[in-house]
Amino acid sequence: MQLSVTGRHIDITEALKSYVADKTQKLERHFDHVIDVHVILSVEKLVHKAEATFQVNGAKLFAEDQQGDLYAAIDGLLDKLDRQILKHKEKLSAHR
C-alpha cells in the first residue's frame, strides 16, 4: 500500500503523517487489496477538512469529512471509508 499525505494551507507534520498511517493500517485489515491511498488535509478558517481516495482492486473509493478539529475530521473520514470498503468487499463476494 502506497500512502501519500498532502496538505492545503497547512504544513504536514510527522505526527499527522503517523496518525493517518496508523488509521489506514486499521482499514487494511478489512481488505488486503488496497493499492494506493491519497489523503488531502486542508484548513479554511475554522473548518478542518480531510478527504481521501482509496484505490483498490476494481474500484476507487472517495470520502471527505469536515470538523472543527483536524484529528476528528480524519477519524470521521476513515469511518466513512471503512463502511465503503466493507460494502465493496461484500459486492465482490456476493455471487448471484
Sequence spans of domains, the chain: 2-93
- Residues near 27 by beta carbon (within 8 Å), at least 6 away in sequence: 34, 54, 78, 81, 82, 85
Q: pLDDT in tens for each of the 96 residues of the chain?
A: 889 999 999 999 999 999 999 988 888 777 777 789 999 999 998 999 999 998 888 789 999 999 999 999 999 999 999 999 888 888 888 766
Residue 2 in grid coordinates: 502506497
The matching CATH number, chosen from 3.30.160.100, 2.40.50.100, 3.40.1050.10, 3.40.366.10, for 2-93 is 3.30.160.100
Amino acid (1-letter code) at residue 12: I
pLDDT for the residue 29: 79
